[in-house]
Structure 1
C-alpha cells in the first residue's frame, strides 16, 4: 500500500472488526465466552503470535498488530464505557447502602492481599521495595473482565456480582494512593508516606464530591437542552462528550478515568434519559471493550511462557488461591453465604489491568527491574485470560454448594400423599408453576408442587401450599405425591426435554391422569400431544392471544366480541 495515503491504525481496525464481526460470533457458537475469544484472538494477531511467524512467512505481516501500546491506550476507552454503564445501572442510594462492603471488605482485601503477596515475594528473595510494588500491583483484580463476565451471564445484580463489584470499586479507588506510594518510595521519601497517603485520599474524596455535585448541577440541564433539539446524533454526541469529559477531569485530579466514568453514569442514572443513553452507548462499550480484551491477549509472550511454564502457572495458581481465600474469608465475615463467597472469591483471583499502570510507574522510577516487570505483567495477563474458564467453574461450584446446603436445611422431604385425592400435582415451581399454584389456591384446590431446585424450595418454603424438593421425572416421587388419586398434573418447567420426559412417563404408567403441559412452541406442543398430554399450551401462542385481547379492548371492541374472536383463534391454533 506504499505510495497511497492511509488512515492511522487502518490495519489494526480491519483486524479488530474481522475479529468482532466474524471470528468471535463463531467462537461464541461453540459456547466459548466472547471475552476468552477476544483474548485468544489478541494473542494470535499480536507480535508474540503471528508476529513471530511473519519473519519466516512475510505474507502474515498484514495480519499482525505490531503497535500493542497504541492499541492498549485506545482500548482503555472500553473500560471507561464499561464503568459508565455500571454506574448507569446503579443509584447513589444503592451505592451508599454498600459502603460497608466497599470500604470494609474491599479495603481489607487490598491490604491483606498486598501484604501477603509482598511477604511471599520477600521470602522468595525480592528486595523490600520490589516486593511492596508487586504486592500492591497483584492485590488488584480485573474490573473489565470480571464485570463483563457477570453482565454476559446477566448476573451483575446477583449477590455474587454485587459482592465482587464492591471489592472492585474499592480497588479502583485504591489506585491513586498506590501510585502515590510508588512515587514516594521511588524518590526514597518513605518518611512522608503516611501523611502523603492521607493527603492523596483526602484529595480523591474532595474530587469525587466536587465532580458528582457539579455533574448533578450541570449535566442534567445540559442534556435537557440537547434533548429538546430532537436530534439523535446531537444527543449521542453529548453523552459521549459527558463520558470522556468527566473521565478526563477525574484524571486531572489523579484519579482513574474509569472511576470518573462511573461517576458520570451515577449522575445520569437519576435522569429520565437513562434508558435511551443505555441503548445508545451499549454498542460503543461492547466494541471498545472487545478491543481492550484483545490488547491484553497481544501482550502475552508465549516464548516466555514456554521457557518456565511450571514457575509461571505455579505463580498464577498460588496467586489465585491466596486472593480467593482472602475474599472468601472476608465475604463470610461480612455475612455473605458460602456459595456467594466462593463464587466471588474465584472470580477475583486474577491480576488486573491496573497492574500495567502500577508496574510501569515502578519501572520508570527504578523500583523494579525490566525482567521482573515483564514476568509480573505476563503473570497478570495470563491470569486474566484464564478468568472466563474459572468463571464457569465458580458458577457451578457455588450452585452445587448452595444446592447441597439447601437440601440439608430445608427438611422438606416429600411426605406420603398416596392416600390423598382430588389434588393437582405441579411439576416445576418456577415462574409459571408459582402462577398456577396461586390460581389453584385462590380456587380452593389443593396441590403438591415438586421442584429439583433445593435452593428455590428453601426460599419458597410452604407459604402457598405443599411445596417439596423432588425430581418429578422419577416414578417413586410421583407415586409419593399421590398421582394415583390426583385430579391432574401440570408440567410447567422451562426445559422442553424435561417436560417431554415427564409427560411420556406419566402417560405410560398413569394414562388415565390428565396432563396439562407447558410447550415451548407449536411443534413442541404437537409432540407433547403425541406423548400423551391432554392439553399443551405453547408459550408464544398464549402470550400473543393475551396481547390481542388487550389490543381489541384498547381499540374499542366490545368485551363479548373480543372474547369470541380470541376463543375462535385459540381453537384454530389448537387444530392447526
Structure 2
C-alpha cells in the first residue's frame, strides 16, 4: 500500500507543475551569466546564449518561447519602474530638452533613413516603414543593463541615452496608432471610435497622476502600520502591475505606465522600501526576458533567408549607428561620447516585436516577413555586446587637460608627499602646521586644480616613475610619505624608493595587514593601515557610551593595539596561525586571571575563535 501511495503521489506531482523548464531556465542563467561576465562578454550575452541553447533552435527543451517572452516582458516593466523611482519630477523636467529635443530628432532621422533602407531592400513602402520604425526603437533593457553594470546611468552621457530611450518608449504609442490607421480595416472605424481611444489614453495618464499624488502615499502608510513585510511587497507589485495594466488597456505602453508610476513615487517616503521590494523580481524577470529573446531566434528561418537577414542586420545597424553618431556630433557631443552612443543604441529592441505583431494582426505584413524582421532585431541585440567589446579598441584615449597644472621638476623640499587624496590631505596638515617645507605630487589633474582653489600647491607627477621621483626631489628629501589610493601603486613606489633612494625615510599608507608586511619588506620605516586607528577609536567611543570610564576606555584600547602588534609581529616573522592562536589563548586566560575570573582553555579558545580577525584585516 505504501508503495502504491508513493507512485500515486509521484504521478500527481508529474501531472501538476512541470518544473523541468523552470529548473533549466534557472540553471542556464546561473551558469551562463557568471561565465560570460568572467570572460568579459557581459551578462546580457550570457542570457541570450543560454536562451538560444534551450529554445527550439537549440536542444528544444522549451518549445514555445513566445509564452515565456510575454511573461518576461514584466521584467522590462519592473525595470522601468525602478528607473522611474530614480527620476524625480524635477530631474525629469530638467531633461525635457533632451527627451523632446534630442529624442525626437534621433527617432525622426533614424526612422526616415531606415525606411529608405527597407525600400532599397525591396519591401513595399508601408512594409519598409514598419520594418524601419520598429528597428528605431532601441532595446531599453539592454542599454539600461549595460549602463547600470558600468555605473553610468547618472553620468551626463548616460542621462542623454536614458532620455532618448524614454522618447522611444513614448513613440510606440503613435506608431501603434499609425498601424491602426494604415490597416485595411481602418476605413470601418469612425472618427468617434478613434476619439474615444485617444481620450481613454489621456484619461489613463491623468488617472495615474491623481492616484500617484493623492492616494499612493496614504495607502502605503496604512499598510506600513500593519508591520507585515509581505503585504508591502504585494502592494509594491500591485502598484507596478496595476499601472502597467491601466496603460495597456488604454492602448499605451505597459512600460511607460510603470515608469510614470515610479516617477510619481520618486518623492515618496516609501521610495527605498518599494525599490528593495521590487528589485529581486526585476532582476529575475529581466534575466528571463533576455533568455526568451535568445529562445525566440529561429535558426531555421535565419538559414532559409540568411542573405536577406545578414544584409538587413548590417545595413540597419550601420545606418542607424551612423545617424546617431552624426546627430550627436552636430549637437556638440564629443567623438568618444558620440561613438559610444552610436554603438550602444545601434540595435533594435523589444518594442519592435510589439509593433511587428500588431502589424501582422492588422494585415499590413505577413508571417514570413514578421519572422525575418524579428530575426533581424534579435541578431542585432545579440551583436550589441560584441560591438561594445570592439568599441574598447576604437574609443580615443582620454587626454587630461594640463591647464593650470604644473609638472614636478626640480623640487627640493624636506618632505615629499606622493598622493593627495583624502588620506594625503589629512596627513599633510600636521607637517604644514609645523611649517615644514613640503612638496606634493599627484597624477589627478582635476584634484590638483581643486586643491589650488583652497590654497594647496600640488604638482603633477606619477610616483611609480623613477624620473618623476628624481624631479620631485626624492633624492634630497628627509622624509617621504606614500599616500596613494591603490595598493599595487603604493608597493611599487616603496620598492623604487628602497632601490634608488635607500637613505630616504619612508612612511606609507597601508590597506590591510598583509599589505603592511609587503611594505615593511619593501623598506618602509613606518606604515599604518588606513582604517585601523579610526576603527579602534570608534570602538572606544562605543564602550564609553555604554558606561565605560575614560581610564577603562584607554586601557581597553591599549590592549587592542598591543594584541594587534603581537599578531602583526608573529605574521611578519613568518609564524603560522596555529602559533598565533596559542598565544592569543594564553593572553585571554592571563587577562581573565587579572580580572579575578577563572577561564578554561576551551572557553579561551572559543573566545579567540570569535576575536581573531582574518589574515588580511
Alignment check: 8 A CA contact 2:223 2:231 kept: yes
Q: How does 1:296-445 map to 2 (within 5 A)?
A: 296-305=293-302, 312-394=309-391, 400-401=396-397, 403-404=398-399, 406-407=400-401, 410=403, 412=405, 414-418=407-411, 420-427=412-419, 430=421, 432-433=423-424
2:67 and 2:481 map into 1 onto residues whose CA distance is 60
Most deviating of 126-135 and 549-558: 549-558
Matching residue within 278, 292, 296 for 1:295: 292
Matching residue within 133, 136, 144 for 2:141: 144
Alignment check: 8 A CA contact 1:180 1:200 kept: no
1:441 and 1:374 map into 2 onto residues whose CA distance is 72
The CA deviation string for residues 422-466 of structure 1, in whole angstroms up to 9 with x for no partner, is: 243323x55545665677667766442322x56x45874743534
- Aligned partner of residue 453 in structure 2, secondary structure: coil
State the match for 1:55 in structure 2: none
CA separation of 1:3 and 1:276: change in aligned 2, threshold 3 A: closer
State the match for 1:527 in structure 2: 518
1:259 and 1:480 map into 2 onto residues whose CA distance is 59
TM-score (norm 1): 0.86
- Aligned partner of residue 515 in structure 2, secondary structure: helix
CA separation of 1:300 and 1:462: change in aligned 2, threshold 3 A: farther
CA separation of 1:390 and 1:486: change in aligned 2, threshold 3 A: farther
State the match for 2:42 in structure 1: 33
State the match for 2:215 in structure 1: 218
Structure 1 gaps of 5+ residues are 52-63
CA separation of 1:200 and 1:173: change in aligned 2, threshold 3 A: farther
Q: How does 1:142-221 map to 2 (within 5 A)?
A: 142-187=139-184, 204=201, 207-221=204-218
Matching residue within 481, 484, 491 for 2:482: 491
2:194 and 2:339 map into 1 onto residues whose CA distance is 32
Alignment check: 8 A CA contact 2:143 2:344 kept: yes
Most deviating of 496-505 and 221-230: 496-505
| Structure showing greater Rg | 2
1:176 and 1:167 map into 2 onto residues whose CA distance is 15
Structure 2 gaps of 5+ residues are 1-9, 569-617
CA separation of 1:29 and 1:356: change in aligned 2, threshold 3 A: same
Q: How does 1:10-159 map to 2 (within 5 A)?
A: 10-51=19-60, 64-159=61-156
Alignment check: 8 A CA contact 2:114 2:320 kept: no
Residue 257 of structure 1: how far off its partner (Å): 0.8
1:391 and 1:96 map into 2 onto residues whose CA distance is 31
State the match for 1:243 in structure 2: 240
CA separation of 1:226 and 1:495: change in aligned 2, threshold 3 A: same
- Aligned partner of residue 269 in structure 1, secondary structure: coil
CA separation of 1:15 and 1:358: change in aligned 2, threshold 3 A: same
Alignment check: 8 A CA contact 1:207 1:250 kept: yes
1:197 and 1:507 map into 2 onto residues whose CA distance is 81
CA separation of 1:71 and 1:548: change in aligned 2, threshold 3 A: same
Residue 69 of structure 1: how far off its partner (Å): 0.8
State the match for 1:475 in structure 2: 466
The CA deviation string for residues 529-566 of structure 1, in whole angstroms up to 9 with x for no partner, is: 11122333334535533532442354354567545644
Most deviating of 246-255 and 164-173: 246-255
CA separation of 1:463 and 1:563: change in aligned 2, threshold 3 A: farther
State the match for 1:517 in structure 2: 508
Alignment check: 8 A CA contact 1:101 1:334 kept: no
Residue 475 of structure 1: how far off its partner (Å): 0.6
2:198 and 2:418 map into 1 onto residues whose CA distance is 57
Residue 74 of structure 1: how far off its partner (Å): 0.7
Residue 571 of structure 1: how far off its partner (Å): 5.0
Most deviating of 308-317 and 484-493: 308-317
2:413 and 2:480 map into 1 onto residues whose CA distance is 12
Alignment check: 8 A CA contact 1:324 1:345 kept: yes
Most deviating of 430-439 and 124-133: 430-439
1:546 and 1:149 map into 2 onto residues whose CA distance is 41
Residue 369 of structure 1: how far off its partner (Å): 3.3
Residue 480 of structure 1: how far off its partner (Å): 1.8
The CA deviation string for residues 12-43 of structure 1, in whole angstroms up to 9 with x for no partner, is: 21112222344433444444422221111001
State the match for 1:270 in structure 2: 267
CA separation of 1:550 and 1:322: change in aligned 2, threshold 3 A: farther
State the match for 2:249 in structure 1: 252
Alignment check: 8 A CA contact 1:90 1:266 kept: yes
- Aligned partner of residue 424 in structure 1, secondary structure: strand
